[in-house]
Structure formats: structure tokens, C-alpha cells
Amino acid sequence: MSLNILLVDDHTLFREGLEGLLSRRDINIVAAVGSGQEGLRLAIELKPDVVLLDMRMPEMDGMDVLRQLRKNGFSNPVAMLTTSSDERDLVESLRSGAQGYLLKDMEPDQLVLALRDIVAGKTVVAPDLAPVLARVVQGDSIAPAEESPFAKLTPRENEILALLAEGQSNKVIARNLGISDGTVKLHVKSILRKLGVHSRVEAAVIAVEHGLRTSSRGTDQNSVT
């Protein structure tokens, strides 16, 4: 039986490579897109058998897409496909409505089997994380640590926020990190949304209040703009 999959991943090479691998294994990729917003729209429109969702994406990450899909009434399976083996990411994904938590280093045939099991109604996680799934299914309490206001930020967003807190402008941050001004602006926009604030100054204040720091060695200082 052919499965209809919507693939959402911001890395073009990975997305295209996986699309080719799955297509050769009787998996129909109804769409493969690079943004969470586009994935959210297409999931509702196309109603694929499974949404295969990258965890870490700029602007709207995989967890945001997953939660919004469930909020919008999308009931088909969603599987996270990620490099993160962090137990907290797994638990948060399952509690937010994911039926799968798969790692990007899986063999293609293993991934196909996992997708078919997910469509059949099973909850599937990467083998290394199976003990965590057992605890969740059995209802054992996994006491979450007090959530940091930065918990939803990606490592790059945390890095940029720390530089904002040091007073660096977008241009200086871009130069220090070797990325474009436009990329910095996208990250800042995502940071503000995730922190629930409206300006970079507010975000910088939160960072300072919570002691977010980064090494300033070799970086330029500038005013917050």
C-alpha cells in the first residue's frame, strides 16, 4: 500500500535526498516544503497519511507546527524527524500529539517500516529512546524541570539572543557569526515571537534578567537598534 507523506524540513539537500529515497520505496511524497508555515497550510489542504516534520526550523519550528495542527483539528499522524535524542524533546513531542519520534540517521528501510507502523496506529520512536516511550506509556511521571523562558529557542537563537543582550546590532551579529543580516533578522523575529515580546530591547532585558550569557571574546560591541 502506497503512503502519502508530507515532508517538512528546512534543509533542501536532506529534503530532496529523502524524497528520492522514499519515492523508490512506494512512498508517495505529496509535497516537500522547507517552512513550518507552508507545511501547516499543506497538511490541512492535502490531508496526507503522515506529516514527517523536522524539529528545528527557523521562524516556525516543528513543535509549533505540531501544536497548531492539533489545535486546528488535524487528526492524521504526525512524526517528528530530527537529530535530537534529548528525552525532553521526545516527551514534549508525544505529549503534544506526535505518533512518531524518528532520528535522521535511521536506515531508509527502517524509516519506511516506522511510517507504516505509525499509519497502522502504533506510536514509534527511535530504538535508543524506546525506554523513555515505555515510561510515558506506563504513565510514570517525568517531572519537567522548571521551564526556562528560552526553552523553545534553538541553539542559534539562544546564541543570537545572548549577543542582543550584549548590545550588538544585527549587522555586528551577522559579521561575528558569519551569516547574513537577513538571516539574523529572521532569527530575531522568531525569538520575539517565542518569548512573547514585541521588541529586541524587551528580549534583551529578559536575557539579562535570566543571566543568559555568551563569550564576548573577539566580538564587537554596538548599541541595540
Domains of the chain, each with CATH number or no CATH: 3-137 (3.40.50.2300), 146-225 (1.10.10.10)
Strands (E), the chain: 3-8, 27-33, 50-54, 78-82, 100-103, 124-125
Write out the E strands in 9-158.
Answer: 27-33, 50-54, 78-82, 100-103, 124-125
Q: How far apart are alpha carbons 139 and 127 in whole angstroms?
A: 19
d(CA 71, CA 55): 18
- Residue 108 pLDDT greater than 50, yes or no: yes
Tell me the sheet residues that pair with 100: 79, 124
Tell me: the pLDDT tens digits for 147-192? 567 888 888 998 999 898 888 889 999 999 999 999 999 999 999 9
How far apart CA 171 and CA 39 sit, in angstroms, is 30
Contact 27, 79 (CB under 8 A): no
**Global pTM exceeds 0.75:** no
Phi–psi pair at 7, nearest 5 degrees: -105, 125
pLDDT value at residue 38: 93
Residue 26 burial (CB count, 10 A)? 11
The answer to whether 20 and 14 have CB atoms below 8 angstroms apart is no
pLDDT tens, position by position, 66-81 = 999 998 889 899 999 9
Q: Which of 58, 16, 18, 52 is nearest to 37 (CA)?
A: 58
Least confident of 71-75, 118-122, 136-140, 195-199: 136-140
